[in-house]
Amino acid sequence: MGDERISKHDLILVASPFQGHMTPMLQLGSILHSKGFSITITHTKLNSPLPSNHPHFNFLPLFDNFSSIDASANFTNFVQLLNDNCRMQLQQLLTQKIQQNDHQITIIHDNIMYFAQEVATNLNVRSIVFRSCSASYMPAFLALPKLHQQAHLPVQDTMLHKLVPDLYPLRYKDLPFNNTSTEVLKEMLTLSNHITNPSAIIWNTMDFLENASLTNLQHHYHIPIFAIGPLNEMAQCPSTSFLEEDTYCISWLDKQAPRSVVYVSLGSLATMDEKDLAETAWGLASSKQPFLWVVRPGSVKGSDWIEFLPDGFLEEIEGRGLVLKWAPQKQVLAHSSVGGFWSHCGWNSTLESISQGVPMICRPFFGDQYVNSRYLSYVWQVGLELECLERQVIVSTIRRLLVDDEGEETRKRANALKEKAKYSLCKGGSSFNSLSNLVEFILANST
Ligand code: UDX
């Protein structure tokens, strides 16, 4: 491959303002930068990445007119407005850029930022979609219109544990948006129709992990799909967190016994009510295992932070449990004291846990997390499903993972998956090859 072609090819990465999307996009940028490309991160003012953490990137801010993401507000409205507010700005900025030099441009955009594809079409440049969810989520998502038409959604209680025809091994309860109202579901499906003609898709995954789903998607889309992951392991990236990471927890972990700690985090968006918070708190306290619990500010409905924790809880857990606002999660999962990860099964958290061989307790909240949870517990068998948020169930699930033989077996499988993930990144491994193919694909129309 000619270096000159790379040095005359600029990649415009259009990131979305969600933590679980921004992090892998910045990781992808670092990886492509290491291949020699010039990288421009186009981002909203809301949840901007910190340019000083990424001195090798150019940054192009877009004014989105939002001051925050309200997790309880209408998601589809938010995404539509975001796209409407950013479209013309990107078009103008890229028009200027094209006039300034003779470099080729390829746009790689988050799937939520679909306006970037319209801009690419208008400017006659190529666009590639970046997907930060699992590949296994997509066949389920694509099946939703038909399931909705057949009145299977929202899912009736009697159907929850039954298998969905043609979507093995998913049960109705594992379907994305299984409990979403018909109206919201329709809006979600409309949103997904905005992306019509990308030239390729990049998926943050590994071929060995999601081979069947990737093959299925290849048949569906008829365009190149590059499975490149886990990006969290491939990229040398400084912190990408929007919230400040509390690093005290690492020295706290240093004092705990090997593989004894349950790390609990529900990602950047999931919220719970006061009752679920109390059950979680007493479940953790009664498990008698040490734990590190991330309670994000605002993640409990109606609260600022931990004011709804039950009376007596903090005294009860003193010395054995730590509650914090935001953790350096990758470092936590790499720590030898961590024995299990109770997660909402967001795709980044899933990949980060797999990368460290940490077995999981799976408690999904929405979207792809249901599918990821099913694959973790049933297909890859590296996680235990938490059936319900009741303290006794929490205690028994934690003890099954951290104390019982079942947990030891689960840990062995998690370690085997970690080794396979590492192998996919080595020379000749599937993610390594896929990245080379992506570079060739990008350069294929370079002059
Ligand atoms: C969302 C969706 O929920 C997820 O399912 C989708 O696949 C991507 O977008 P989110 O809910 O935030 O993301 O979960 P996840 O994908 O796990 O991303 C969270 C990120 O925040 C991870 O990279 C994790 O390491 C980081 N994190 C989380 C921290 O750094 N510290 C914390 O305390 C908690």
Mean pLDDT of the chain: 94
Residue whose CB lies within 8 A of the most ligand 1 atoms, among 349, 354, 363, for a mutation test: 349
pLDDT, residue 333, reads 98
The pair phi, psi for residue 176, each rounded to 5°, is: -60, 145
Cα 232 to ligand 1 centroid, rounded to whole Å: 12
268 lines ligand 1 (CB under 6 A): yes
- Determine which residue's CA is closest to atom 3 belonging to ligand 1: 346
Q: Which atom of ligand 1 is nearest the CA belonging to 23? A: 23
Of the pLDDT bands very low, low, confident and very high (cuts 50, 70, 90), residue 69 is confident
> Using an 8 Å Cβ cutoff, are 383 and 361 in contact?
yes
Cα 432 to ligand 1 centroid, rounded to whole Å: 24
Preceding peptide of 230 cis, ω within 30°: yes
290 lines ligand 1 (CB under 6 A): no
Q: Which atom of ligand 1 is nearest the CA belonging to 296? A: 33
b/e code 203-217 from CB counts within 10 Å (16+ = b): bbbbbebbeebbebb
Give tens-digit pLDDT for 142-200: 999 899 889 999 999 999 999 999 999 999 999 998 888 888 888 888 887 887 778 99
User: Which amino acid makes up residue 240?
Assistant: T
Question: What mean pLDDT comes out for the span 45-54?
Answer: 94
326 lines ligand 1 (CB under 6 A): yes
Q: Please, how many CA atoms are within 13 Å of residue 237, restricted to the half-sphere of its CB?
A: 26
Q: Which residues contact 329 (CB under 8 A, 6 or more apart)?
A: 265, 349, 352
pLDDT, residue 185, reads 81
Q: Which atom of ligand 1 is nearest the CA belonging to 367? A: 5
Q: Residue 283 above 50 pLDDT?
A: yes
Q: Residue 66 above 90 pLDDT?
A: no
Cα 149 to ligand 1 centroid, rounded to whole Å: 32
Bridge-based pairing state of the strands 38-44 and 261-265: unpaired
pLDDT, residue 385, reads 98
327 lines ligand 1 (CB under 6 A): yes
269 lines ligand 1 (CB under 6 A): yes
Q: State both tokens at 263.
A: 């790390």
Question: ipTM score of the complex?
Answer: 0.99
Q: Please, how many CA atoms are within 13 Å of residue 226, restricted to the half-sphere of its CB?
A: 24
Alpha-helix residue ranges (DSSP H) falling in 134-288: 137-142, 144-149, 182-192, 207-221, 231-234, 248-254, 274-287
Q: State both tokens at 352.
A: 């980060």
Number of H-type helices and E-type strands within the chain:
18, 13
pLDDT, residue 71, reads 56
Distances, alpha carbon 332 to alpha carbons 3, 352, 359, 418, in Å: 38, 10, 13, 16
What distance in Å separates the CA atoms of residue 369 and residue 371, rounded to the nearest whole number?
5
Cα 268 to ligand 1 centroid, rounded to whole Å: 5
72 vs 368, more confident: 368
What distance in Å separates the CA atoms of residue 273 and residue 389, rounded to the nearest whole number?
11
349 lines ligand 1 (CB under 6 A): yes
Length of the chain counted residue by residue: 447
pLDDT, residue 72, reads 60
241 lines ligand 1 (CB under 6 A): yes
234 vs 7, more confident: 234
Give tens-digit pLDDT for 113-148: 999 999 999 999 999 999 999 999 999 999 998 998
Q: What percentage of the chain exceeds 70 in pLDDT? A: 98
Neighbours of 32 (CB within 10 A): 24
Give tens-digit pLDDT for 74-101: 888 889 999 999 999 999 999 999 999 8
Cα 132 to ligand 1 centroid, rounded to whole Å: 10
**pTM here?**
0.97
329 lines ligand 1 (CB under 6 A): yes
User: Which amino acid makes up residue 199?
Assistant: S
Handedness of CA 119, 121, 126, 127 (dihedral sign): positive
323 lines ligand 1 (CB under 6 A): no
Question: What mean pLDDT comes out for the span 368-388?
Answer: 98
What distance in Å separates the CA atoms of residue 177 and residue 185, rounded to the nearest whole number?
7
Of the pLDDT bands very low, low, confident and very high (cuts 50, 70, 90), residue 447 is very low
> Using an 8 Å Cβ cutoff, are 105 and 85 in contact?
no
309 lines ligand 1 (CB under 6 A): no
What distance in Å separates the CA atoms of residue 313 and residue 279, rounded to the nearest whole number?
11
> Using an 8 Å Cβ cutoff, are 341 and 361 in contact?
yes
Alpha-helix residue ranges (DSSP H) falling in 74-179: 75-100, 115-123, 137-142, 144-149
